[in-house]
Structures are given as structure tokens and as C-alpha cells.
Amino acid sequence: MSNSIELGDAFVEAYQTLAPEPLPDLWYFDLYQGLNALFYYERWLEGYHDAGLTHLTIEDAGGRLRTFLRRMLDERL
């Protein structure tokens, strides 16, 4: 589950459980950032590789990003 959408979901769920107030629904921010990432994720991936996360490929990163955006749009449309 490392470096996955499920891990991100688990983090947000745990954070919301401990937060004194509910988190605002910022779906539009996630959508904007995700769409923006489509233009740059290949360059960002170089930084991940420099940090030792060499198992993450361009195909994996692009696929995860597209899955995230698809899920976001499916939940809102």
C-alpha cells in the first residue's frame, strides 16, 4: 500500500478522526492541483528518484495521477 491512493485515503481518514474540527471539502483544490500535475509529474519523478524512490516509474506515476483525477471527477459528476 505504500505510495498509493489508498495510503493517502488512510492518512486523511486518520487525520479527520483526530482533528478537532472536520476538514473542509476542498475537492476543487485537489482537482486543480491534479490537473496541473499532469504537465509536470515526469519532472517531479526525477526528484523522487533522487530521494531513493526508484521503484516508481513514469507509467506508475501517470497511472496513479489519472486514477486520482478520475475518482475525483466520478465523485463530483
The confidence score (pLDDT) of residue 28 equals 85
pLDDT in tens, 1-52: 555 778 888 888 898 889 888 878 778 888 898 899 999 999 989 998 999 9
Contacts of 72 (CB under 8 A, 6+ apart): 27, 30, 31, 34
What pLDDT sits at residue 2? Answer: 55
Q: What is the pLDDT of residue 72?
A: 85
- pLDDT score of 3: 56
What is the C-alpha to C-alpha distance for residues 39 and 48, in angstroms, rounded to an integer? 16
**What pLDDT is recorded for position 49?**
93
Domain-wise residue ranges, the chain: 24-76
